[in-house]
Structure 1
């Protein structure tokens, strides 16, 4: 896979101890067995040494595999050490397998020539996700929404480069103005942010005088662009929230007409979980009189990606927009399948947006694929937990985030900024400014750096005007309403 197989320098995962903190390792190991439906037991205690200084021995047996003995001055201490050693072995094994997960999955495809691209991407994401979760021991859950950005390389192999799970948003009281918290923790958004992290790492390696597996110089714009023989795919285990999911059935008669009139509306998620509300709707304060956070839905954000690209404002200083070739939906219910195209790009094809967007920006219409019935993802999101998993290709291990606080799990949340946070991305952006000789950008705040990407900002203004002109409603900006981008 060429340069793409290189592990990123400095991409370390969380420490083993942070995965369960101060919790009793025996309890953690038992929970591990319950969530993964494997047996966990301990061997009978044996005793060695003289009576006045004897040692007890036991070992954990997980799914029939006996691990290294734990030794201690009491049965309790020996059992605790045995659990710790078993957890460490499981963790290290998971990290090693995760490093090779993409390659192992691609090797299985070589004998399955009848599989479509969509099925390969689906199976690849499933396999990598399962291995990623082996590297974190406490926050695993079967009931989750998962998403991934997958590269299809020029030699026909697939690489999951950004992975995320989750369906929560930060609570208003945990918002901070230093860029250290993750605000929107839905799987699609997390996968995209993990992909952005991958782009930063690859841009750090780019050299004009050498070829690169992902980028090449655009002679027209002078910026980098993705190679013509590389494709981007988005996998989601279920339709994105918002316009794609708001109409599972639209009924008959007046009910049907009312639903049709509301199709296409831009919507916001409400932190209290009251569904996706049109952006022009008034939302009263909560019962305590506190403000309620509103965040644009995933349907709307994916729709924006299909006009502005996945790279965002900061990376637009260095590269042309990156567009999806396809979107793969793992499962759906009712008539959601007919709403997804409208939600994620159909709203861009009405009106004059195609003519109004200036190159290299354009209206992108990715292919949408659905798996066969036996490949459906049946995740029960009502039982999902507030913790989500994220991983970027090349990272030694996954990161676990509390979606309600927006902070990395492990230790004090006030000191745990995610590697996907705005703060982390701004640090990477400043590093690129030094690399690509842009010292003028080093004196800006995060918000100023975004605004100085003039072609991106002009295209965004054109897009938002299009939404208003077509009657889809205003775009609701978190930054404009909560001032979270002014850090430097």
Structure 2
């Protein structure tokens, strides 16, 4: 396999090989839909990473103000799903954002609801994917009702559907996914908030963490700092979220800091560790930190100085707000989607084949193609014996040169005195191309801005929570003629959310193969959280 990490990339994909080639050209951009030449001599399926990034940033710009970060004080992350349609009657490719999400938060274990009415994971990548599920349910609803769907056409098996010829999906994220893909070497061209250090304590780092927390609290005293209404106080380590450019955790086992003015002087950012026999400090190449914690039962992070701080290639759970979570990192979820598809268990009932992202584009940020490939591709590359309709389908990996205007780095550049501390935005935004209520803004797992009076009612639920997506799916089943139901939905006894997921036999078999061969430590869902109707 030949791989290229360049701005412009074309590729040809089949079941056994992916061939890449690079070239330079110029493209025209149109607000939400981009039309590009389909055929270039010797090259097919053209993807321009900058055009994709610009398309997604423009879609975000058009959204209402509600839920967006406060410029210069709050930052967030953005992800999107882009539908690509190769037009059969013309020499063009149409690219359209069908789902977009922002967010950096997830709730803790104790906040999860057995009723499925809380949005557990509000990281941008998860928001974008769940919004895409809403879009796909709408398109299937049109198809089963005899209408025209721009996505699906009938498959050979009764009750099953496949993608329209020429339709595929691409995934964009403004930042390297949290978890394994975010463990990348530092280089001097990247922003490095934490300068090198001159001494190292033990690996526990409790003194340093306590000192950081105390200083953070002192810095807030005497200042009138505006915070998001629903945002809770976080520890210094949890406030990292798990993004590669927020490397404050790197101080967790360090005791003193050199002059910040010297932090970019070396060709490669380093930690300075023990001295040699001449009294000179060794310079140790450093790596970005991820706040995502290794799952229990497997290798733990050694927390050695520099490049030895993290274990790589392991499953990780996202940090919560002061307590553990059950949400796997976005690196892990993207790797899972590369085998099981991003459609999930419920929609697998209706689909002849799983849906895979042909390409993953990352915006301008600390990035390593090697780390992305390790996290999203290598870990699942040897999975075999998958049922019909499933395969190992690694995406093409590209990076854009365009940075999200509300990234942490850009927010730091725009920050002004008197604005208070810079913090991640407490709200998460979902927009998807659906007819009813395309915009959904949440905070702490519930709809943003609701009052306590509405607690326990449908008014507080996000359109993306398990219960709402399940109800959307049940509406699809009800709209399907009984004679046209997929075979797996024709039996009796399906009542709960868990019942419908378990009845998707092909998906469950594929998941069992993936778990046993690549992710044996992936935490199993608590059955008590799947019994809602």
Interval of TM-score (by shorter of Structure 1 and Structure 2): 0.5 to 0.7
1:364 aligns with 2:409: no
User: d(CA) in 2 for partners of 1:197 and 1:441?
Assistant: 26
Q: How many residues align?
A: 354
Picking from 426, 441, 452, the partner of 1:386 is 426
Q: Secondary structure at the match of 1:409?
A: coil
- Contact 2:32/2:96 (<8 A) preserved: no
Which residue number corresponds to residue 400 of structure 1? 441
Picking from 140, 150, 160, the partner of 2:82 is 150
Q: For 1:21-41, what per-residue CA distance to the aligned partner results, in whole angstroms no more than 9, with x for missing partners? A: xxxxxxxxxxxxxxxxxxxxx
**Cα distance change on mapping 1:344 and 1:458 into 2, 3 Å:** same
- What aligned pairs does 1:294-305 form with structure 2 within 5 A after superposition? 294-305=326-337
User: d(CA) in 2 for partners of 1:379 and 1:297?
Assistant: 19
Q: Secondary structure at the match of 2:96?
A: strand
User: d(CA) in 2 for partners of 1:258 and 1:221?
Assistant: 54
**Post-superposition shift, 1:324?**
0.5
- What aligned pairs does 1:124-139 form with structure 2 within 5 A after superposition? 124-134=55-65, 136=66
Q: For 1:153-202, what per-residue CA distance to the aligned partner results, in whole angstroms no more than 9, with x for missing partners? A: 22311111111000100134432111111001100000000000001111
**Post-superposition shift, 1:476?**
1.5
Which residue number corresponds to residue 262 of structure 2? none
User: d(CA) in 1 for partners of 2:333 and 2:157?
Assistant: 28
Picking from 203, 212, 217, the partner of 2:140 is 203
- Contact 2:153/2:163 (<8 A) preserved: yes
Which residue number corresponds to residue 433 of structure 1? 477
Q: Secondary structure at the match of 2:86?
A: coil
- Contact 1:247/1:259 (<8 A) preserved: no
Q: Secondary structure at the match of 1:296?
A: coil
User: d(CA) in 2 for partners of 1:256 and 1:301?
Assistant: 28
Picking from 423, 438, 454, the partner of 2:505 is 454
User: d(CA) in 1 for partners of 2:161 and 2:326?
Assistant: 34
Q: CA RMSD in A?
A: 3.2
Which structure has more RCO (C-alpha within 8 Å, separation ≥ 6)?
2
**Post-superposition shift, 1:151?**
0.2
**Cα distance change on mapping 1:272 and 1:410 into 2, 3 Å:** closer
User: d(CA) in 2 for partners of 1:435 and 1:441?
Assistant: 17
Q: Secondary structure at the match of 1:263?
A: coil
Answer with 405-414 or 390-399: which moved more.
405-414
**Cα distance change on mapping 1:138 and 1:313 into 2, 3 Å:** closer
**Cα distance change on mapping 1:486 and 1:218 into 2, 3 Å:** same
Q: What runs of 5+ residues in structure 1 fail to find an aligned partner?
A: 1-101, 274-285, 287-291
**Post-superposition shift, 1:272?**
3.6
**Post-superposition shift, 1:108?**
9.1
User: d(CA) in 2 for partners of 1:397 and 1:210?
Assistant: 20
Which residue number corresponds to residue 369 of structure 2? 337
**Post-superposition shift, 1:295?**
1.6
- Contact 2:132/2:432 (<8 A) preserved: yes
User: d(CA) in 2 for partners of 1:137 and 1:453?
Assistant: 36
- Contact 2:86/2:166 (<8 A) preserved: yes
User: d(CA) in 1 for partners of 2:377 and 2:158?
Assistant: 25
User: d(CA) in 2 for partners of 1:295 and 1:316?
Assistant: 22
Q: Name the one with the larger helix percent.
A: 1
TM-score (norm 2): 0.60
- Contact 1:170/1:406 (<8 A) preserved: no
**Cα distance change on mapping 1:233 and 1:414 into 2, 3 Å:** same
Q: Secondary structure at the match of 2:318?
A: strand
Which residue number corresponds to residue 312 of structure 2? 263
**Post-superposition shift, 1:116?**
4.9
Q: For 1:236-287, what per-residue CA distance to the aligned partner results, in whole angstroms no more than 9, with x for missing partners? A: 00010111013445956996998499221111113147xxxxxxxxxxxx6x
